């Protein structure tokens, strides 16, 4: 039931149809000097780019309201990552950056959800901001709660300072013993 409600379009109450998966930006035909792709992979990617297809065999499994950035490494491995539609400008920036580095990227999206006005789309509405919950203030009049009450050593700061003082006293005793040992060694002639 929840899945059906998610697919309903808010304004009209009809089922939401995002369209079909299309390639929004494609730079798979670009070849760099340091590319280690085999000749087959080079022609394969060039052919897919010319046909405007994402792949020959599988249908992409892109969810609605998402964009997919696909790239090919210099060794020919394919990588991809999905982004929410609201991050469309970051996806375009990553596409440009990967293109400059020679990674042969492309961007997949849904035809009814094209967020790029430069290629005939419309910018999506911004996502509604979620209100952060206000922190609750502690209200207590109990002397048993840390930091309340007038007893010495009752606050965390007092306890930490007591531990520091004990540690300094222990180190002072250890230094005093070392000084006494070195004086005895000098007196017997084993020092220096």
Q: Where are the domains of the chain?
A: 2-119, 147-192
| Cα 19 from Cα 34, distance rounded (Å) | 38
Closest CA to 106 of 157, 60, 154, 65: 60
pLDDT digits (tens, 9 = 90+) for 59-100: 778 888 899 998 887 777 888 899 998 888 899 899 888 888
pLDDT digits (tens, 9 = 90+) for 127-145: 677 888 888 766 655 555 5
pTM for this entry: 0.52
- Comparing 84 with 51, which gets the higher pLDDT? 84
């Amino acid at each position: 039931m929840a899945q059906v409600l998610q697919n309903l379009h808010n304004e009209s109450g009809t089922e939401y149809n995002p369209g079909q998966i299309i390639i929004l930006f494609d730079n798979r035909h670009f070849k760099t000097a340091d590319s280690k792709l085999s000749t087959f992979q080079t022609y394969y990617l060039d052919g897919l780019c010319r046909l405007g297809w994402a792949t020959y065999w599988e249908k992409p499994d892109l969810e609605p309201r998402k964009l997919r950035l696909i790239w090919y490494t210099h060794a020919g491995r394919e990588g991809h990552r999905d982004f929410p539609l609201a991050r469309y400008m970051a996806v375009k920036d990553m596409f440009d950056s990967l293109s400059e580095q020679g990674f042969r990227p492309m961007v997949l999206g849904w035809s009814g959800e094209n967020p790029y006005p430069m290629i005939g789309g419309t910018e999506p509405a911004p996502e509604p901001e979620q209100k952060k919950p206000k922190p609750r203030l502690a209200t207590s009049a109990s002397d048993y709660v840390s930091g309340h009450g007038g007893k010495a050593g009752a606050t965390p700061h007092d306890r930490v300072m007591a531990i520091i003082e004990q540690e300094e006293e222990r180190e002072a005793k250890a230094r005093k013993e070392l000084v006494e040992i070195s004086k005895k060694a000098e007196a017997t002639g084993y020092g220096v």
